[in-house]
């Protein structure tokens, strides 16, 4: 991951060495989109106690994707819990005009902010804005968006997020062609850029995703879709670890 000479601001929420370590090791990132929002703190505590070091938050605006979810207030509410456990807040902005909200999410506690290539006609500017706000900068790609569209941006981001479902709703089936796309992305990206995959991640495909080159695996219903959240997280983590 690129350091401050590339534009990273000094005032981080987590120590920079911790962010770099977490972004460049294999982690299951539980997505709270599938959590029980009536017991959100309890659900997040369970995955943190089970060993989660990255917690994924999906932000949707009802325009870029057909759903509406959370805003900076939820990020701020979870910040003490997640940072207190030494974990990262990984915020995925599935919204139009993300540049209008980057600073608010960074101030709320986001350690990583990913914006969509499809939503940013001035992507380079937005990536620098994220870094100046003190977060690591990520670019997300929808299933129909080619990896090669990042020809310039790949040199100015810290993470690339490959969507392996069409964004907007949890619980969707993994798009099988995403495996080859992840492998292509890993070859195409600089070594210091983390690679995240989001959508349809289960214990059945976790090892293959890691072998293809992903190091951050976002999992929603696979973690939060049952009663024993910690056990389900552990199963996924073990499956991903088999590829190491």
Active-site residue list: 58, 198
What is residue 196's DSSP assignment? E
> Going by C-beta distance under 8 Å and a sequence separation of 6 or more, which residues neighbour residue 44?
30, 32, 35, 55, 78, 81, 82
Q: How many residues does the chain have?
A: 244
Instruction: Read off the tokens for 113.
Output: 């902010």
Instruction: Read off the tokens for 70.
Output: 């959370």
Burial class (CB in 10 A: 0-12, 13-18, 19+), 39: exposed
Instruction: Read off the tokens for 153.
Output: 């941006």
Instruction: Read off the tokens for 158.
Output: 């810290």
Burial class (CB in 10 A: 0-12, 13-18, 19+), 219: buried
Tell me the C-alpha distance between 239 and 229, whole Å: 16
Tell me the C-alpha distance between 33 and 45, whole Å: 15
Contact present, 111 and 14 (Cβ < 8 Å): yes
């Amino acid at each position: 991951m690129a350091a401050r000479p590339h534009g990273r601001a000094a005032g981080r929420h987590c120590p920079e060495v911790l962010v770099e370590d977490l972004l460049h090791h294999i982690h299951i990132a539980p997505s709270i989109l599938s959590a029980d929002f009536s017991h959100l703190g309890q659900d997040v505590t369970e995955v943190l106690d089970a060993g989660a070091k990255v917690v994924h938050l999906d932000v949707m605006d009802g325009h870029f994707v057909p759903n509406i979810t959370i805003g900076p207030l939820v990020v701020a509410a979870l910040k003490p819990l997640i940072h207190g456990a030494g974990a990262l807040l990984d915020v995925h902005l599935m919204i139009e005009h993300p540049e209008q909200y980057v600073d608010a999410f960074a101030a709320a506690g986001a350690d990583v902010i990913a914006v969509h290539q499809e939503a940013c006609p001035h992507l380079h500017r937005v990536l620098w804005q994220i870094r100046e706000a003190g977060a690591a900068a990520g670019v997300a790609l929808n299933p129909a968006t080619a990896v090669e569209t990042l020809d310039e941006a790949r040199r100015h981001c810290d993470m690339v997020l490959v969507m392996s479902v069409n964004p907007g709703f949890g619980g969707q089936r993994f798009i099988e062609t995403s495996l080859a796309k992840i492998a292509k992305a890993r070859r195409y990206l600089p070594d210091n850029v983390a690679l995240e995959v989001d959508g349809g991640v289960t214990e059945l495909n976790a090892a293959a995703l890691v072998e293809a080159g992903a190091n951050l695996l976002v999992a929603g219903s696979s973690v939060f879709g049952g009663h024993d959240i910690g056990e389900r997280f552990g199963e996924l983590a073990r499956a991903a670890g088999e590829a190491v």
